[in-house]
Amino acid sequence: MPKTYQLVVIGAGPGGLCAAITAASLGLDVVVLDEQPSPGGQIYRGISQTPDDRSALLGADYQRGADLVAAFKASGAQYWPQTTVWSLNSRREIGILRQGRASIIQAERVIVASGAMERPVPFLGWTLPGVMNAGAAQILLKTAGVVPAQGTVIAGTGPLPLLVAWQYLRAGVKVKAVLELSPGTNLWRAAPYLPGALVAGDYISRGLKYTLDLNKGGVPIYYGVSRLQARGNDRIEAVEYGWDILGSDRRETIITDSLLVHFGVIPRTNLTKAAGCQHIWDRGQQCWRPQVDRWGNTNVPGIAVIGDNAGIGGARSAEHSGRLAALEAARSWHLISTQQRDRQAHNDLKWLRKDLRVRPFLEALYRLPDSLLVPPDDEILVCRCEEISAGQIRQAVREEHGDPNQVKFYLRCGMGPCQGRQCAPAVAQIVAAENKRPVADYTTFRVRPPIRTLTIAQLANLESSES
């Protein structure tokens, strides 16, 4: 039989680290798996190896991760870096790839903390070399100090484009423009949530500081931008966009060999879907997420989901939810009583409620319009792996393949190496729009293992047992 572990945490971001620290302190035998070489997750990527000057440049929010990682290292939890999870099922059997070898381990309890991914939004030219996600570019800065040498344009929605532009400014990288693609009318929709956002913490003041610093640094920020397009032959040569100034719709061009885009983040749901966890459509966040209770429990016994994986809440909320899931795990083994769990959870629940008050404001302010969610032009490539366009998907729906999974079987979109991670949201949006129904009426692609690429040799040599 596969080797059994008491508690396996998938993901060493702030959520997974806090879960592991708390669980280990309560006497649980914990193993943390993460595909990265060092702990910290997305926000604190590479924190234990980043040189001091680069760490200072990335700002106080990044540096905050150093204490968390130090506490994790001292916690006694086992840590398996460079370990990719390629499968999770409802019996809590976990397929892992470690040091080139695939194997299956068994967990009595699993906390899935695999975080979020940048929302893929297909637009004209998004597959050209030189166009990449802003978060991915930020990872290059955090882990390797690599930046776009000839400068860049940053386009999209959400707080991350501002943060990346601010970090680049401090690193001496020329940011030619920040293009904000959320509609101006969002401001009015967000206004009623501002008082709640202000009590949540310093989120708004930090956003204002980044904006002011960018203004002082001469970085132009254009609001109300639409119809983004990357142009070029073998690689990006220019960015084109529409800009509505006082009712006159202008078309502008910026010459650049680099465009960084970001349209918010969405939970990584491939593991939880493969495990059979129930998912719901989150109207505010415009994405599917696993349905969980306050302790992270899903409908699948022994599988909890925390942090951004359970719905976007940011790093602080991920920490609180990690501790709550660990307390619940300890309660389930009678290491603490229900009353002790509830008492110890009191502060986390309080801070979580406070911290999450910023979300309705951010969700309204950065709400994506249909023109971004549903690729408007037929020639836009939606599935990059199988090279399927928006037009082909529309045609398939018109031919009665009226559900994302039917479209997948018919066209193979979502069957390539990324296993639908890049196209699933857009395919569901196109199907819903063609059928004139809300996207919540559909499910995205069914997910089957392996959710990450494995070679035939790795599978054939699977270190396993009957299972």
Ligand X SMILES: Cc1cc2nc3c(=O)[nH]c(=O)nc-3n(C[C@H](O)[C@H](O)[C@H](O)COP(=O)(O)OP(=O)(O)OC[C@H]3O[C@@H](n4cnc5c(N)ncnc54)[C@H](O)[C@@H]3O)c2cc1C
Residue 95 within binding range of ligand X, rule CB under 6 A: no
Only one of the segments 21-29, 31-39, 230-238, 336-344 lies at the binding site for ligand X (rule: CB under 6 A); that segment is 31-39
CA angle (12 as vertex; 8, 14 as ends), nearest 5: 120
Say whether residue 132 binds ligand X (CB under 6 A): no
Nearer to ligand X, 118 or 363 (CB): 118
Among 5, 21, 35, 273, binds ligand X (CB under 6 A): 35
Q: Which of 7, 124, 154, 163 binds ligand X (CB under 6 A)?
A: 163
Which token pair is 366?
């950065």
Closest CB to ligand X among residues 54, 394: 54
Residue number, 35 or 328, with CB nearest to ligand X = 35
Q: How many residues lie near ligand X (CB under 6 A)?
A: 36
Residue 360, interface with ligand X (CB under 6 A)?
no
- The reply to whether 431 sits near ligand X by the rule CB under 6 A is no
String marking each residue 290-329 x if it binds ligand X according to CB under 6 A: -----------------xxx----xx--x-----------
Q: Determine contact, residues 103/464, Cβ cutoff 8 Å.
A: yes
Stretch that binds ligand X, among 110-118, 282-290, 297-305, 338-346 (CB under 6 A): 110-118
Instruction: Kindly tell me which of 14 and 125 has the beta carbon lying closer to ligand X.
Output: 14
130 scored as a contact of ligand X (CB under 6 A): no
Do 55 and 49 form a contact (C-beta atoms < 8 A)?
A: no
Least distance to ligand X, CB of residue 89, Å: 14
Give the whole-angstrom CA distance, residue 174 versus residue 350: 42
Structure tokens at 306: 């925390």
Kindly tell me which of 165 and 380 has the beta carbon lying closer to ligand X: 165
Applying CB under 6 A, the span of 40-48, 174-182, 188-196, 459-467 interacting with ligand X comes to 40-48
Identified binder of ligand X from the candidate list 33, 303, 383, 407, rule CB under 6 A: 33
Judge whether 137 and 148 are in contact, CB under 8 Å.
yes
In angstroms, give the least distance from the CB of 211 to ligand X: 16
Q: Are 31 and 9 in contact (CB under 8 A)?
A: yes
Hey, what are 78's tokens? 């086992």
Which of residues 107, 259, 265, 433 is near ligand X by CB under 6 A? 265
Kindly state the smallest distance separating residue 113's Cβ from ligand X, in Å. Answer: 5
User: Which residues have C-beta within 8 Å of that of residue 110, sequence separation ≥ 6?
Assistant: 7, 8, 9, 10, 88, 92, 94, 302, 303, 304
Nearer to ligand X, 391 or 450 (CB): 450
Strand partners, 241: 252
Length of the chain: 467
**Among 7, 8, 16, 263, interactor with ligand X by CB under 6 A:** 16
Does position 118 bind ligand X by CB under 6 A?
Answer: yes
Crossing angle of helices 424-434 and 390-398, rounded to 10°: 40
3-class state of residue 398 by DSSP: helix
Q: How far apart are CA 114 and CA 307, in angstroms?
A: 8
The C-alpha torsion from 342 through 343 and 347 to 353, rounded to 10°, is 30
Nearest to 26 by CA among 349, 339, 305, 334: 334
Rounded least distance, CB 39 to ligand X, Å: 7
For 302, the 3-state DSSP assignment is coil
Q: Is there binding between residue 46 and ligand X (CB under 6 A)? A: no
CB closer to ligand X out of 33 and 221: 33
Report yes or no: 291 and 285 within 8 Å, Cβ to Cβ: no
Quick check: 236 and 229 in contact, CB under 8 A?
Answer: no
Choosing from 9, 13, 328, 423, the residue that interacts with ligand X (CB under 6 A) is 13
Residues in touch with ligand X (CB under 6 A): 10-16, 33-36, 41-43, 61, 84-85, 113-118, 135, 138, 160, 163, 265, 268, 307-309, 314-315, 318, 452
